């Protein structure tokens, strides 16, 4: 079983949205359990907004232990703003720790603080999300800064899109949207492929 944790020191960086969409992507490759560890229970609330059943299981951290066995993937939506000890433990156990970051100065400082608290052996990637459209260069500037500081970053990024917000409000993923509103799903698919590579999925 592969464990993917999504975490961050700052709220509002699309941590839960990322968790939901990564779980959706991985469900095409095996059985997935998404654990909602956020006290706000954002994933559970999302799932209750529709009668549509997602192609992955959702449990909170209290009920999850009885459902972990037999899954191919465990996706962990961590509590918001974990302390340094929690982050070290999470990143040590996970096969991949994903750190969503919005390309603005307010989000950057908490992101840089996190690298001191990751487990030394952590396999991690920064996910640049909610990226503004051209001609803004904020995402490219953030990527350049992180790479200059030898920070591991996904090659792909998640665009800022009203359809992502709309999908979450409807209790679905952008994979279920139609027409141009489905375009952000391509972003998650590209990130998903990078995740499979990062965790050596399917390799001996």
pLDDT digits (tens, 9 = 90+) for 101-118: 988 877 677 777 788 889
Q: Please give the residue that has the higher pLDDT: either 148 or 10.
A: 148
Instruction: Note the pLDDT of residue 203.
Output: 61
Q: Convert the pLDDT of each residue in 121-151 to its tens digit.
A: 999 999 999 999 889 999 999 999 889 888 8
CA angle 155, 159, 163 (to 5 degrees): 145
User: From CA 120, how far away is CA 161, in angstroms rounded?
Assistant: 35
The pairs formed by 39-45 with CB atoms below 8 angstroms and a separation of 24 or more are 39/79, 39/80, 40/80, 42/16, 42/77, 43/16, 43/19, 43/77
User: From CA 153, how far away is CA 160, in angstroms rounded?
Assistant: 18
Q: Please give the residue that has the higher pLDDT: either 110 or 44.
A: 44
- Tell whether pTM > 0.85: yes
Q: Convert the pLDDT of each residue in 56-96 to its tens digit.
A: 999 999 999 999 999 999 999 998 777 888 889 999 999 99
Instruction: Note the pLDDT of residue 128.
Output: 95
Instruction: Note the pLDDT of residue 204.
Output: 46
Domains and CATH numbers, the chain: 2-198 (3.40.50.300)
The total number of residues written for the chain in this structure? 204
pLDDT of 9 strictly over 80: no
Percentage of residues of the chain with pLDDT beyond 70: 97
User: From CA 67, how far away is CA 168, in angstroms rounded?
Assistant: 25
């Amino acid at each position: 079983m592969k464990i993917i944790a999504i975490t961050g020191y700052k709220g509002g960086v699309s941590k839960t949205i990322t968790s939901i969409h990564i779980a959706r992507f991985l469900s095409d490759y095996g059985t997935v359990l998404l654990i909602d560890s956020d006290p706000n229970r954002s994933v559970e609330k999302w799932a209750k907004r529709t009668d549509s059943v997602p192609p992955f299981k959702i449990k909170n951290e209290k009920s999850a232990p009885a459902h972990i066995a037999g899954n191919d993937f465990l996706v962990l939506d961590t509590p918001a703003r974990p302390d340094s000890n929690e982050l070290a433990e999470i990143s040590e156990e996970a096969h991949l720790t994903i750190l969503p970051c919005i390309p603005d100065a307010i989000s950057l400082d908490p992101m840089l603080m996190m690298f001191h608290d990751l487990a030394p052996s952590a396999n991690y990637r920064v996910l640049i999300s909610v990226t503004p459209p051209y001609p803004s260069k904020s995402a490219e500037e953030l990527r350049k800064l992180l790479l200059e500081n030898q920070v591991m970053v996904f090659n792909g990024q998640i665009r800022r899109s009203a359809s992502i917000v709309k999908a979450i409000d409807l209790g679905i993923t952008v994979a279920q949207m139609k027409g141009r509103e489905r375009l952000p799903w391509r972003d998650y698919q590209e990130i998903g492929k990078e995740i499979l590579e990062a965790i050596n999925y399917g390799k001996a």
